[in-house]
Amino acid sequence: MFSLQGRSALVTGAGNGIGAAIAKAFAEAGAAVVVSDLDEDAAEAVAQKIVAAGGRAESARVDVRDAAEAARAAEQAAALTGGVLHILVNNAGAIAPAMFHKMTADQFNLVLGVHVGGTYTVSQAALPLLATDGTGRIINVTSAAGLVGTIGQVNYSAAKAGIVGLTKSLAKELARKQIKVNAVAPLAATSMTENIRENDKLAAMTLARVPLGRWAEPEEIAGTFVFFASDAAAYITGQVLPVDGGMVI
């Protein structure tokens, strides 16, 4: 039920952190994966680790805001399984934290452009290639910040809330093609949360809201993506699943 054998996947922002863990978990479940990232060397390193472990993987340099690069990566992933893409994970992200009264338009637009714009761009590029036999999946990455807000990252919260709306609307549109669209809202120890984790006050405030009292490792998040990508989630679409130790209850 959880096998991804014979399926292809494109994972953005997969050069490290949660994206890398997802790519590895997909490969372990049997999928052929294109590991994409703005950092080409990081993507290639992850792909090489997957291959060394016996999996199928290639790498691609992708700026998710660039439609041409997104299209090339989607076609590369589809080519791994005869021209059909089965799974797209929109994980690429960026942060530019600042209190709202100090936030610049560039900071705001950068984060919205990568998260919301990137999710739109890559999803649209992948859509013509996505399987319509019930195995097609788009899995977006949002955050508790997009569900309950956060201090010092209005841009990030707005972007992640936008991804929630995009996920639900796209799920309704693509249901007729039997393509399922869901989102995961994780909380993990990654470079995206480093600015919080390295600030004692912010880290304590954050963990005080987490009943399990700790940060997840990226590998603890990846299994949820395997679930959404697999036949076990064949009748689930338009949902947002927090994987955050209970922060959002």
Is the pLDDT confidence value at 15 over 90? yes
What pLDDT shows up at residue 217?
96
Q: In the annotation, is 120 catalytic?
A: no
Tell the burial category of 8 from Cβ atoms under 10 Å away from its Cβ (0-12, 13-18, 19+).
buried
- Tell me if 244 sits within 8 A of 45, measured CB to CB: no
Which is the catalytic residue, given 26, 108, 120, 156? 156
Domains of the chain: 8-243 (3.40.50.720)
pLDDT in tens, 201-230: 888 989 999 999 999 999 999 999 999 999
CA distance 149 to 133: 37
What pLDDT is recorded for position 202?
86
**pLDDT for the residue numbered 199:** 87
Closest by Cα among 63, 127, 130, 126 to 93: 63
Burial class (CB in 10 A: 0-12, 13-18, 19+), 173: exposed
Per residue, what are the HEC states of 121-184? Answer: HHHHHHHHHECCCCCCEEEEECCHHHHHCCCCEHHHHHHHHHHHHHHHHHHHHHHHHCCEEEEE
pLDDT confidence of residue 218: 96
Write down the pLDDT at residue 67.
98
What is the average per-residue pLDDT within 193-203?
87
Cα Rg of the chain, angstroms: 17
Q: Does residue 196 register a pLDDT over 90?
A: no
The rounded distance, in Å, linking the Cα atoms of 242 and 89 is 16
